[in-house]
Amino acid sequence: MSKRIIKVSAVLLLGFFLTALSAYFSIFLYVDYQLGKRSDTTAYDSCHKVWAARGIYQKEGGVGRNSVASVARAFALGGSGVEIDIYFMPAEGVFIVSHGHPDKNGNNLTLKAMFESVGVSGEGYFWLDYKNLGDLTAAQTVQAIKRLSAISSEGGLRERLYIEGVNPLMLTDYRQAGFRTILDAQLPPDNWPVTHFVTSIYKAAYYFGDHTVLGMPYGTLDEPVYGPETRELLGTLPVFLYHVPDNRALLQGLVSNKAVRALLVGRDVSVARFDINICSDE
């Protein structure tokens, strides 16, 4: 290879790199500018920010997680919202409530039954952790949206649903159908070198998908995901947090953060921390 060809190749490579870098900054500057102008009117915004993960359950007391009883108990104890795990079953055309794989024998609680028991007649919110969102085909997604629309059409329930998924493109189908969505951001810990880049990618996916809130795990007390740098990068973008350590000082600080709209305390534990809020009359 001649020196001339090497020199031309180097110039072209440098030009490509500079163009890509310019495009990168242009896109994210544009996203930041647009998000700064966005008027947030749809995301949950209450003084009661602590919700219940899979309800308030008790293994030895006969109240299982993701059950009608656990969800009813959470609402009765003062929770404004409950996170539950769901699957869509294309063959049956139904949503079922389950954290693990659905029961092959068909002994599954349907989302319709859950809503009829504790949804339609109440005022509580539902955070739907959609386990197989990304596994469905385009046709099955259309089928699922029609089903979810049908079972949430009464009692203002549709406006109290938040659908969580890690696939921003497939989640957008639900957003375009009028549902509120939680884009689950798999961010690295706050102090990692790539945090800024990954957070910027999720902000762009959040903006272009027009999602309602950004969801993410809090991390640990020693190595938080939603730490100072990430908070600064996200600004006022509405956030739902899960796996938040059960630390009262931390929880009080988070509920005082305007960007944090809802949070789930602990991981694979059932705790009711609904007394931690920013309601002036309580």
DSSP 224-280: BSS-HHHHHHHTT--EEEEEE---HHHHHHHHT-TTEEEEEESSS-----TT----T
- What pTM does this model have? 0.89
**Among the listed residues 272, 245, 259, 251, the one whose alpha carbon sits nearest the alpha carbon of residue 79:** 272
pLDDT value at 217 more than 80: yes
Q: What is the pLDDT of residue 60?
A: 72
pLDDT in tens, 32-54: 777 777 776 789 999 999 999 99
Distances (CA, A) of 4 to 1, 7, 12, 131: 8, 5, 12, 55
- Please check whether residue 178 is in contact with residue 159, taking contact to mean a CB–CB distance below 8 angstroms: no
Distance from C-alpha of 282 to C-alpha of 276, rounded to nearest angstrom:
10
pLDDT value at 158 more than 70: yes
Predicted confidence band of residue 8 (pLDDT cuts 50, 70, 90):
very low
Q: What is the pLDDT of residue 4?
A: 54
26-30 mean pLDDT:
72
How many Å separate Cα 143 from the centre of its chain? Answer: 22
pLDDT value at 171 more than 50: yes
151-179 mean pLDDT:
95
pLDDT value at 18 more than 60: no
Reduced to 3 states, what is the DSSP secondary structure of residue 89?
strand
**Among the listed residues 137, 112, 140, 138, the one whose alpha carbon sits nearest the alpha carbon of residue 126:** 112
CB under 8 Å to 205, separation ≥6 — which residues?
Answer: 168, 183, 211
Query: Kind of pairing, strands 109-110 and 50-53?
Result: unpaired
Q: Where are the domains of the chain?
A: 38-265
Distance from C-alpha of 98 to C-alpha of 96, rounded to nearest angstrom:
6
> What is the sign of the dihedral through the CA atoms of 196, 208, 50 and 100?
negative
User: What proportions of the chain, in percent to the nearest 5, are helix, strand and coil?
Assistant: 40, 20, 40
User: Superfamily for 38-265?
Assistant: Phosphatidylinositol (PI) phosphodiesterase (3.20.20.190)
72-86 mean pLDDT:
95
Query: Kind of pairing, strands 161-165 and 180-184?
Result: parallel
Q: What is the pLDDT of residue 101?
A: 74
19-36 mean pLDDT:
65
Q: What is the pLDDT of residue 119?
A: 82
Q: What is the pLDDT of residue 65?
A: 87
pLDDT value at 151 more than 90: yes
pLDDT value at 63 more than 90: no
Within a 13 Å sphere around the CA of 175, how many CA atoms are in the beta-carbon half?
A: 22
Q: What is the pLDDT of residue 105?
A: 67
pLDDT value at 224 more than 70: yes
